[in-house]
Amino acid sequence: MRDRMNKNIKIIDTKPSPISRSEFIVKGSILAGSTILLPKYVLGQECDLTTDDILGPYFVEDAPIRTVIAHADEPGQRLYISGRILQNDCETPISGAMLEVWQANDAGCYSINLECTTGNPENDEYNLRGKMFSNTNGQYAFETILPGNYASRPMHIHIKITTPDGEILVSQIYFDSDPLCDTDPWCQDAGERILALQEDSSGLQGQLDIVMNSTLSGIIPGDVNLDGVVNVQDIVLAVGIILGNVQPDDFQMYAADLNQDTEIDILDIVLMVSQILGGRRSSQQLQGGHLKIEDGRVNISTVGEVAGIQLFTKGDFRIKNNNLPSNWKLHHENNIILIYNLDGGKGISGKLFDYGGDLEIVSNIITGWDAQRLSADVNPNPEEFHLSEPYPNPFNPAVNINFIQQKTSVVNIGVFDVKGRELTILFDGLMLRGKSGFTWNAAIYPTGIYFIKARSGNQVQVKKVQLLK
């Protein structure tokens, strides 16, 4: 990274449409979207950089990556802020710019203040703090609460932006409804950083576009080593991150997290391989699978084509050999086993590898070329029924559910909301032995978390799904 230095910046007049909450309130990061933004020079206006502001005494390093920095029951009025981070032409987006955010709570108290006795219902040491990255269109967004006043200062939210080339801006966001701004010298000079808020049923909304003194377009998703191209070297580096052999910086983490779920795992490896291959897709969508551990051997059988496997293990064991085709790779370190396809060939079935010693698979991830997160049954009991992982998940508006019944019996499958209310019944009656599939179309239901519950005799299995509109 180049030497980092503070620069002055200013905000642009043209405001993009708000990013929908479902676009960014998902596992800590926003998804790519498109917003048309006219640069100031097109409008006959001067293109200004966004102005800086004081850091203040309450900045804390290493805040978690998340876009929802206020817990659901944090006191205060909910607030949604979105915008774009742009180059100094006020038009070109910067992807992978890191935005750090911190603020006081509704009572004007910061989380590191020992005298703070209000708010923070989750006892979170990073309460009302977080960091996030701009997406491929330069967009950022976060959810919080409207901060309180303290020490005669107007309400404000601290921000620190660091671009991939090392450009740093420290600034603050203010609000035009606060009368204390009239007597605060920093707020008086804030210009377009003083936001006009709009209110809807969910809370307040504000928009801020930030113009950095930078000409770098940002990070290419998948370019983990930040050399400007995505290739096998990036796969190797991402594998090292997953296995714990590589300690990435924040920008490498952003580049490696292709699905923007704040975790680096086999899903990102598959997406990276697919990107290198030009978008490999299988016509046999993966729907689930079974892992069998027996006599020093691990076998897999799947419904659909698998593109990658990640096993979380325990026990004292060593892998002796594998039965993988030449286009497949296997890595084993630190109780993690990674198995993935490098050239887009057919999936695998049957023996994965032989091992010696004591092996226990604690959990697993299997995925197809669509990089949906599924899990395989491990040594399934043939006397039990099984409700497979729903797919896709998150979904909109329909989700698929597979049910495997090892013997004919009465089965009930229903959908419930977070309050435990039954919304609909997918099946209720005598189900024959074998596999059955169901689809729940949730077009009439709002965005949220729902539960698929299956009952067979005295046995119950539940799967969580997320509807995003």
186-222 pLDDT, tens digit per residue, is 999 999 999 999 998 889 999 999 999 988 888 999 9
Residues 6+ apart with CB under 8 A from 462: 387, 451, 452, 453, 454
CB atoms within 10 A of CB 180: 14
435 confidence band (pLDDT: 50, 70, 90): confident
Q: What percent of the chain has pLDDT over 90?
A: 59
Average pLDDT over residues 388-399: 90
User: Distance between CA atoms of 81 and 70, rounded to whole angstroms?
Assistant: 13
Is a pLDDT exceeding 60 seen at residue 43?
no
Is a pLDDT exceeding 80 seen at residue 115?
no
**Is the overall model pTM greater than 0.85, yes or no?**
no
Residue at token pair 């004919």: 408
Most confident listed range (137-146, 211-220, 272-281, 323-332): 137-146
Domains of the chain: 5-211 (2.60.130.10), 219-380 (1.10.1330.10), 381-469 (2.60.40.1930)
pLDDT digits (tens, 9 = 90+) for 269-281: 999 999 998 876 6
Residues 6+ apart with CB under 8 A from 293: 359, 361, 378, 379
Enter the DSSP assignment of 304.
S
Q: Are 12 and 211 in contact (CB under 8 A)?
A: yes
Predicted confidence at residue 432, as pLDDT, reads 83
Considering only 75-79, 306-310, 382-386, 389-393, which range has the smallest mean pLDDT? 382-386
Predicted confidence at residue 311, as pLDDT, reads 96
User: Helix, strand, or coil here: 242?
Assistant: helix
Q: How far is CA 160 from CA 3, 63, 98, 293, 428, in A?
A: 16, 12, 8, 50, 55
351 confidence band (pLDDT: 50, 70, 90): confident
16 confidence band (pLDDT: 50, 70, 90): very low
Per the prediction, the chain carries an average pLDDT of 85
CB atoms within 10 A of CB 34: 8
User: Distance between CA atoms of 219 and 221, rounded to whole angstroms?
Assistant: 6
Enter the DSSP assignment of 385.
-
User: Distance between CA atoms of 236 and 338, rounded to whole angstroms?
Assistant: 12
Is a pLDDT exceeding 60 seen at residue 38?
no
Predicted confidence at residue 260, as pLDDT, reads 86
Predicted confidence at residue 21, as pLDDT, reads 46
User: Distance between CA atoms of 209 and 139, rounded to whole angstroms?
Assistant: 9
